[in-house]
Each structure stands twice: as structure tokens, then as C-alpha cells.
Amino acid sequence: MAESARMVDIHVMGKHYQVPEGLTIMTALEYCGYRLIRGCGCRAGFCGACATIYNFKNDHQLRYDLACQKTVEQDMYLVQIPFFPAAKAFYSLEEIEATGEQVLSLYPDLVKCFGCNTCTKTCPQKLEVMWYMSDALRGDIRQVSAKSFDCVMCGLCAARCPQGLVPYNVALLCRRLYGRYLAPVSRHLEDRIAEIEAGRFDDDLEKLKKMDVRELRRLYAGREIEPAN
Amino acid sequence: MYPAHMEESIRKVEATRERRLKESLLRLGDEQKTPLLQRYHPDYVAGKMRQLALGPNKGDYTPDEVADLLEGNSCLDPDKIDLGRVDYDVDVLVIGGGGAGATAALLAQENGAKVLLTTKLRLGDCNTVGAQAGTQAADRPNDSLAIHYLDTMGGGHFANVPELVEALVKDAPMVIKWLGTLGVNWDKMADGTMHELSGGGASRLRLHSARDYTGLEEMRVLRDEIRNRKIDYLEFSPAVELLMDDKGQVCGAVLVNLETNELTMVRAKSVVMATGGMGRLHIQGFPTTNHYGATADGLVLAYRVGAQLIFMDTMQYHPTGAAYPMQILGQLVTEKVRSLGAQLVNVDGEQFIMPLEPRDVVAAAIIRECQERQKGVKTPAGQVGVWLDSPMIDMLRGEGTVARELPAMVRQFGRFNIDIAREPMLIYPTLHYQNGGIKINTEGATTVPGLFAAGECEGGVHGSNRLIGNSTLDIFVFGRRAGRAAANWSKEVKSGSLTLEHVRCWQKDLERAGLSKLRPVSPLLLPDYARPIPDYLPDYSAQALTAHRIKLT
Ligand SMILES: Cc1cc2nc3c(=O)[nH]c(=O)nc-3n(C[C@H](O)[C@H](O)[C@H](O)COP(=O)(O)OP(=O)(O)OC[C@H]3O[C@@H](n4cnc5c(N)ncnc54)[C@H](O)[C@@H]3O)c2cc1C
Ligand code: SF4
Ligand code: SF4
Ligand code: FES
């Protein structure tokens, strides 16, 4: 960080710090001297560990984001949400059915959603959380899966839902149901597994394993390469 | 939105795009690859590696940053630890809550073991969630296990352990099915055919993906399954030392609560090490794609009980880490971008390497382009990089492909007002993967009885360079095998009484090697990014702090 970098004022849990502009919320915390244990995982926007709530000195509207992805701005007031207790249904996937009734029986509180849209406004992934919750209520498992797919399970929607619902766990149930029961079966995968079990590739592999490196190299260099699709 | 001087270079990239859509560079032959790697790949930079002074791999070369930790001292004083007090007594202890650890825990439980999983941060805070592109498995009709085998060996420069590669390719289709049964949503066509992509070094379309959130999808499902099956797990409780018995078998571990420093003693009939990689050691100062806890802990613990390591002189630098904007420096730009057709081009808009060569080759070519040929683009923060020409993708495959196939990438760059469907991304190699690790056999057993290993912390499967999609495969194949083998071992083994004698022996060995004083304490647990405290204050930060705090207990 060049000495000449412009500094911005931020407030961490109410305490004032100056940090160079261009840092993420996460690296700004570290610049302030915090050594993170909670609230820091992949540092790349995939794990949802770093859910953050913030507003500004003169704008009290709450905003939500991932600390590892969001750049600090002048006069930000920051709070990290290191953990949020969220209800989860326990189930054995092989013993349940991919139906709307099933989803509702595992998450009966779904009916309490009154469509306030707070969850959607909260989501740092910009998902249509309220819409997938209403899809879940209607039993459209496929739609829930599609709309919730990019969920990093950061917990912000659940933290803010006035009805105490946990959209991301409902979505996870629906995606698992979809993946196991509703997605079309891959014939070629089943066929290949049967071939492997019948030992169809054993001789080839045995030969390759014993082959000397020079011969392997030759085969490798001459192998046919399928064009990208 | 790029600064003006970068925009200028983008104009040149745009000007050559029409022509490049039809231009395909040839793959390099061995005679061109070898000198390219030797001159430009970081693994070959003289003076950045050293020989280990003690332990089972004494005399082997490894990067200085790794050697410092492998030769480190324990944070425990064996004389002060009460081995009579056992907090958990289980059949199988799994160390690490990423893809490999979760898989091993599930399989160990299925095979009748009482399992405890312990992990450093939250369950699922790991490298697995970052995997974007996909998982390999040779399941299409024009593909075969033999071709997958050959691709993997070639990618690894033929140094891979053949039996491990055989196991990898043979279990692969079954693993894809297993994950599907657990509810992983693979990208499929309407008729169920898997939508598979090509990847660097793979000669067939073989990458199974879940948009560009493949690892996240895999991990979310496994984590949920661990919870549903009520497998015990501890978070924020990394292992800091293994326990042995008086017969030389691994018999549990000492864990530390990261927040309170409390020690937890776990007695286990067997241990599965699944601690992942080491990107956060920032070898040679490279940025990394890895998660916050990727600090080689498993290697350190295994090494101290005498486990052999393999291929510790080779790291994988992913060719395409973000070089701009600074906020995402080093973060992964998935190889899927190249699989979908994007080329690598220099400041003048010219291609310089066939984009789907194996990773080490592409990384070396980018370093050459920037360092020797001075054809890189410099950012305001002083970073150099070359362009990854993503707008080609929609031109090749139709409008909307980028949005559909790369939502995570679109989102990540969109935050900085860069629309990757319209503008290219600036990239440079970033530290990505530990090719080597703890030596295992096909069942995941290490060279020390009672200790098993799976996933990125083990080595041999990938030789000296891993192919895309083979690591998320590795963690399931060997996670399953190690979990099962550990459960079976636990049924047979007669454990003796617990000891930390190996720590005493290690400390004597350090002394003998002239290394006893001022050793860094290892494992490292977390990197230190907190701003250094001025000299006049005590060093409360980072490693000193970790060492100090744990020593207190
Ligand atoms: C950004 C990114 C993208 C990738 N993309 C792909 C891809 O497309 N395809 C592919 O095949 N591979 C990919 N890889 C590689 C692959 O994801 C990883 O190699 C693999 O997931 C590692 O799994 P693992 O379970 O071995 O380790 P991890 O998933 O990293 O899990 C290790 C776990 O161990 C824990 N741990 C560490 N130390 C301790 C300790 N002392 N005590 C207790 N717990 C500890 C960690 O906190 C973590 O939870 C990618 C990697 C990254 C980083
Ligand atoms: S849906 Fe909820 S948990 Fe998922 S990313 Fe959005 S806010 Fe986070
Ligand atoms: S915040 Fe809660 S109640 Fe409001 S729409 Fe979302 S799920 Fe429904
Ligand atoms: S640390 Fe993983 S999303 Fe921010």
C-alpha cells in the first residue's frame, strides 16, 4: 500500500479508524489490526462466512454484503455477523419424497411468510429469495432449485426475516430433492458404471500401469484431442 | 470499467478478436515445454527451496516456507499435558471439515465407526467451496478410463503413482453417481446427458459441473448430510498435535479451541488427515486462491509422527488469478472461462499460448510474456497481467452463455463495474494447489499405522502437476477409501496407552540437527494479515500470538 493512498474513515462496531481506499471490508479490518478468527473463510465470495451489515454516518438505511467482496466506503459503520442460529430440519434423503407436501411438513413455518421481501433485499448474492420461498410454498421444487442455486448460505436472509424463517435451509432441501429425484437420469453414467463393474477396462489399465514411461509419453503425445464443445 | 491506459490495450484486444476467433495455436511438444517450465515456472526458481534437515524426508527439497513449518517445534510441552484426561473416545477421528474430511466421516460412519470430525473454522470453510469449474469422470461413450489415466499421467509429467491414478479414474463415475444420490445438482441436458466441458490437459470433455459453483454445491450437500446423520463435529478446533500409543500407532489428537485456547484430548483408534492445502503460506510471495486456513497443518502433524511426504517440491500456480482490480487480487478466475473458449492475449491483443495446455505450462508462458517479453499490462497498483478474452465466449457459443455458465465470475467482476461478457479480465498466476503431500496407498493409509490421509493434503495422485477437475475427484475417491479403511482398521486394532513421546523425540532431533533454538512453532493455523504493531509494543499479533497463547495452556 503506497503511503500516499487516500484514506477513508470507517467505524468498526462504533470505533473510528482510517484505512486506505480500495480495501475490502475484510482487509480493512485487518489493516485496523484485527486478527480474524470468526467471519473469514474462503476470502473469495463463496463460503458465506463474512456476512456484514453496514450503514453510513448520515444514511441509516441498513445494507448487507460479504466483507471479502465489498470495498470500504467513506463513513461506513460496520457490523459483522459471525454466527446466526438457524433452524434446520433433519431428514434422511432416501426416505422422503420430492413433493411440496414433504417440504411443507419439514418446514411447516413456510406458511408464515407474508411476502415482505426483506430477504431479497438482504441477499448479497442478489437472489430472488422471497420468490423462491413462495415457490417452495407452492411446492415447485424445481423453481426453488433454479432460483436459489447461487446461495452461499451466508445467513443474512434468515437473520433479517421478521418471521424467523430460514430460506437457505429450505432451498437446500429443495435442491437436494431435485438433484436426487427430479433431475433426469444420466444413462451414460449408469452404463459406464456397469462396464467398470464388469471389468471392461481392467486389462487396458493394467497395461498402462506397467508401460514404460517412454512408451506412455508417445501415447500421450499422439492422443486424439476432442475439440471443445 | 478500466483505467484509460488499460482501455487502450483493450481496444487492441478487440481489434484482433475477429481474426483470433478462427486462430488456434498448436499445443507445445515436450521439447518446447521443458525449457519453458525450467526457465519460468516458480518451482524451478533457484534459491527458493531448501533441503529438509530432519524427519522422514530429510534431504528432500521443499519451498522455504514449507520447510520452516515442517522443521518447526511443537506448541505443546509433553510434560505438561495430562494424557489421563480424555474428552472424546471414538473409533475414527477425522481432522478437517472440507470435502475430503466430510466424505471420510460419512463413509467411516457407514462402515460402523463412531466418528468425530474436527475442523479449524466452520464446517465447510475450506478450499472445496471455492472449486468452480468441475469434477472429472470418464463417463461419456467416446471416453474411457484409459484415456483419463493417460491424461492424468501426462499432466503430472508421468511422475504420478500409477496405482493411485488407477483408483482415481476407476472410482470416478461411481463418485459422480454417489454425489447425485446425495442430491448434488449436476448440470445436465433435458435427456439426462451430463453437460461436460473440456479442461486444460484433458483430451475429452469430462468436467462435471454445477454452474461455476461446483465445489460449493458439493460441500453444501455433504455438510447437510453430516448434520442429518448426526455425526459429531467440532468447529474452530484445529488439531495441534497427533497422539500415539506405545506401539507406534496413531491414536488420536490434541485440539485447541481457537477462541478460548482450551485443549481437547481425543482418543481415536484411527485418524484420517484431511486438512487440505497450503496456499496461505504465500510461497515466493504469490497471492493465492486458497481459503483462510490453508496452512499445511496436516503435513506438519503427520511429519512429526514419522509419515513420509511425497512431491513436496512442486506447487501449482493457477494461470488465471485476478490481477485487477486490487480487491480481488489472486482470486480465482476459473479455468472454465478457457474451457468455454476464451483465449489469453497480451498487451497488443496477440495470443501467445494455446489456452488449454496443462496449468504449469500456461502459468510459465504468462510469466514469460510479462517478465521477459514485457508484453503484460500494468495496473495502477503496479501488478502486471495479460488479458483473458472472455467476450469471445458469447461470440462462439451465443449471447447469454457467459451469464448462464459463469454466474460467480459475472458477479465478482460486476461488483467493480466490469462486464466480463463485454470486457476481458486481467489475470496473472496465483498460488493454487499443493501437488504433493502425505504419501498414501490406494486405501488412503499413510506410512504410519493408524494414520490415513485424503484430499489435497495427500500426494502422489497428481504427480508434479494436477489437472483441473482431478482434485475435487481425488477428495471423494480417497475420502471414501480412507474413511472406509479407517473404520475397518478401528475394528481390528488393539491400541496401547497414549503417549506424546514422539514430540520429545522430535525435539531431540531438532537439537541434534542444530535447530533447537528459535524454531517457529507449527502448525501455523492461520496466516497473519493484521497490520504489524509498532516495535515499542509487545508482539501480540499473528504467529507469535498463536504460539504464545497455545503455550500458555
Ligand atoms: C478457488 C479454488 C478453485 C478450485 N477449483 C477446482 C476445480 O474446479 N476442480 C477441482 O477438481 N479442484 C479445484 N480446486 C482444488 C480443490 O477444490 C481442492 O484441492 C479440494 O477441494 C481440497 O479438498 P480437501 O477436503 O482436501 O481440503 P479443503 O477443502 O481445503 O478442506 C480442508 C479442511 O481442513 C481444515 N483444517 C486445516 N487445518 C486443520 C487443522 N489443523 N485441524 C483441523 N482442521 C484443519 C480446513 O479448515 C478445511 O476445513 C480448487 C481450489 C480452489 C482454492
Ligand atoms: S439466500 Fe440467504 S443465505 Fe443465501 S446468499 Fe442470499 S442471503 Fe445469503
Ligand atoms: S423475509 Fe421472511 S417473511 Fe419476508 S418474504 Fe422473506 S421469507 Fe417471507
Ligand atoms: S470469506 Fe467466504 S464469502 Fe467472504
pLDDT digits (tens, 9 = 90+) for A51-99: 999 999 999 999 999 999 999 999 999 998 878 888 999 999 999 999 9
Active-site residue flag, B338? yes
Question: What is the B275 CA–ligand 4 centroid distance (Å)?
Answer: 19
Active-site residue flag, B41? no
Please state whether beta strands B115-118 and B232-234 pair in parallel, antiparallel, or not at all (unpaired): parallel
d(CA B255, CA A218): 49
- A38 contacts on B by Cβ (under 8 Å): 236, 259
Give the helix/strand (H/E) hosting B38. helix B30-40
pLDDT above 60 for B537: no
CB contacts under 8 A, B 21-60 vs A, are: 27, 29-30
d(CA B318, CA A219): 26
- The DSSP output letter for A24 is B
Q: What percent of chain B has pLDDT over 90?
A: 87
Question: What is the A98 CA–ligand 3 centroid distance (Å)?
Answer: 23
pTM over 0.80: yes
- Mean pLDDT over A115-119 rounds to 97
Is there a contact between A226 and B149 if contact means CB atoms under 8 Å apart?
no
Q: Three cell numbers at B318? A: 493457477
Q: Which of A30, A217, A224 sits opposite B158 (nearest CB)?
A: A217
Q: Three cell numbers at A144? A: 426453488
For residue B523, say if its preceding peptide bond is cis, omega within 30 degrees of 0. Answer: yes
Give the helix/strand (H/E) hosting B510. helix B501-512
**Nearest chain A residue to B202, by CA:** A225
**pLDDT tens for each residue of B443-486:** 999 999 999 999 999 999 999 999 999 999 999 999 999 999 99
| Cβ pair B138, A192 in contact under 8 A | yes
Please tell me the predicted confidence (pLDDT) of residue A217.
94
Please tell me the predicted confidence (pLDDT) of residue B443.
98
- B227 contacts on A by Cβ (under 8 Å): 88, 90
- The DSSP output letter for B190 is T
Q: Rounded to 5 degrees, what are φ and ψ at A108?
A: -60, -25
- Mean pLDDT over B299-324 rounds to 96
| Cβ pair B276, B475 in contact under 8 A | no
d(CA B233, CA B118): 6
**pLDDT tens for each residue of B65-115:** 999 999 999 999 999 999 999 999 999 999 999 999 999 999 999 999 999
Please tell me the predicted confidence (pLDDT) of residue B45.
87
pLDDT above 50 for B8: yes
**pLDDT tens for each residue of A177-214:** 999 999 999 999 999 999 999 999 999 999 999 999 99
> A179 to chain B nearest CA, in Å?
4
Please tell me the predicted confidence (pLDDT) of residue B381.
84
Which of B120, B127, B521 for a ligand 1 pocket mutation test, highest count of atoms within 8 Å of Cβ? B127
